[in-house]
Amino acid sequence: MVSPDVAPAADAASLGHEAARYAVLRRMGSAIRHQIAGSLQPVSMIASLVERRVQAPSPNLDALRRNCGEMSTLARSASAECVALMAWLAPHEGEQVPLNKGVEECLHLLTTELSFRGFAVQDATQDVDAPVARQTLRTMLPACLMALTDASASQALVRIGASVEGAAISLSLSLSPALDADTEAQRAKAYRPLSWADVKALARAEGVRVQIGPQGVQIHFDVLHELPGRGSEVRWG
């Protein structure tokens, strides 16, 4: 039988990491929305072109057939992009990704917003392709990026590096002064700041270890056995 003292503690921990997970997704919502709009925009543009050509006194049928084929291709691509982006909200269990590719996926969504706030990102993980759990990386890296930059009063450069030691991968994030380091960083406008307490709660839920220092953080992942071909057919999934 579970002790009455243990149950409330477990409930509090569960609420803590779920609240942190929700905060991360709320913060990423604008970036996901921007990517969806960007994938649909070319379809809208070529549809407008087709509409104008159809209304011409003597429509160019060859050009219309070509445009319709292009629109179909763009629509399929946009559909795949939107479905794959939704995996950030409803992830597939057990998916793996090479660390360097997973970091690239996260930065593709977050770099623009970070730059608006005065943070540049330097990714030095390109040579580290050991497989990790995609969901865990997509949870921990954005959370650490947000917590690290939210805690910085001035603009800075975020350096991301990685190393593999045996069956463990260490992903490190650190802040370095920017050229205009005296300039105040812009606060994130979406939802609330992420704290290191949020990061620790997510780390416990994801089963990874974090080491937090004054100017950075390290995330320690387990290296997984690669499953060839899984999850590689779409850009975001």
Domain with 103, as residue range(s), is 96-222
| Residue 58 CA from chain centroid, whole number | 48
Pairing between β-strand 131-133 and β-strand 168-177 as defined by DSSP bridges: unpaired
Pick the residue with more confidence: 106 or 177? 106
Pairing between β-strand 216-222 and β-strand 168-177 as defined by DSSP bridges: antiparallel
> Contact, 118 vs 183, CB < 8 A?
yes
Instruction: State the pLDDT at residue 181.
Output: 63
Residues 69, 11, single domain; the answer is yes
- Going by C-beta distance under 8 Å and a sequence separation of 6 or more, which residues neighbour residue 78? 39, 40, 42, 43
Which tokens in the block code for residue 13? 């921990």
Res. 4: pLDDT tops 90: no
H or E segment to which residue 165 belongs:
strand 156-165
In a domain, 177, yes or no: yes
How many C-beta atoms lie closer than 10 Å to residue 99's C-beta? 23
Which tens digit of pLDDT belongs to each residue from 90-134? 888 889 999 999 999 999 999 999 999 999 999 999 999 999 999
Which tens digit of pLDDT belongs to each residue from 191-230? 899 999 999 999 999 999 999 998 899 999 987 765 544 4
Own/partner pairs, 224-232, CB within 8 angstroms, 24+ separation: 224/96, 224/131, 224/132, 224/133, 225/131, 226/96, 226/131, 227/96, 227/131, 230/95, 230/96, 231/92, 231/95, 231/96, 231/97, 231/134
Domain boundary among 88, 108, 128: 88
Q: Specify the pTM.
A: 0.81
Domain boundary among 88, 105, 134: 88
Residues 201, 115, single domain; the answer is yes
Residues 132, 179, single domain; the answer is yes
Which tens digit of pLDDT belongs to each residue from 14-23? 888 899 999 9
Tell me the average pLDDT across 71-84: 90
Residues 111, 210, single domain; the answer is yes
Residues 69, 108, single domain; the answer is no
